[in-house]
Amino acid sequence: MSQKFINGVLQDMTAEEEAAFEAGRVVDLPALKSALKAVIDATAETERLKYITPGAGQALTYAQKADQAQAYLAAVAPVDADYPLLVAEIGITGASAAEVANVIKANFAAWQMIGAAIEATRLGTKQAIDAAAAELEARAAFEAAQWPAP
């Protein structure tokens, strides 16, 4: 096994796969499709990281902050102490829990738009690769991926 950068993503490849990939010829279409889809998944993650901080814990924190912001803004008389992640950002993100909640809500809405565009590209490209009847079609589908610009 060796590793090769493909579209900026490090991929594991056997020497035979690497040689075939470099030569532009791969006999095993299902293997090629699998490899191309793996690169698409890895590239989607690279694209996501242009907008968010990596890590499962950070992702959970983002989700909890979005939930707290939504609940705070929907509450009739919110009590700041009930929203510890919002309170933690007072003086950093906003001057009050309400301001923090509004910033988080806006950031979450922006992320939903870019996240949806990345996911549409990822899934659409993988679908096009799966639908390819030949190697050149699979490669063309892979190369046609249009990731959203930051």
Q: Is residue 37 part of a domain?
A: yes
Q: Is residue 117 part of a domain?
A: yes
Q: Which domain holds residue 128?
A: 29-143
Q: Is residue 19 part of a domain?
A: no
Q: How confident is the model at residue 8, as a pLDDT?
A: 45
Number of separate domains in the chain = 1
Q: Is residue 21 part of a domain?
A: no
Q: CB neighbours (10 Å) of residue 146?
A: 10
Q: Is residue 148 part of a domain?
A: no
Q: Is residue 118 part of a domain?
A: yes
Q: How far apart are CA 72 and CA 68, in angstroms?
A: 6
Q: Is residue 8 part of a domain?
A: no
Q: How confident is the model at residue 9, as a pLDDT?
A: 47
- Helix segments in the chain, DSSP class H: 15-23, 29-48, 56-74, 84-87, 97-131, 135-143
pLDDT digits (tens, 9 = 90+) for 5-17: 455 444 556 666 6
pTM: 0.75
pLDDT digits (tens, 9 = 90+) for 36-76: 999 999 999 999 999 999 999 999 999 999 999 999 999 99
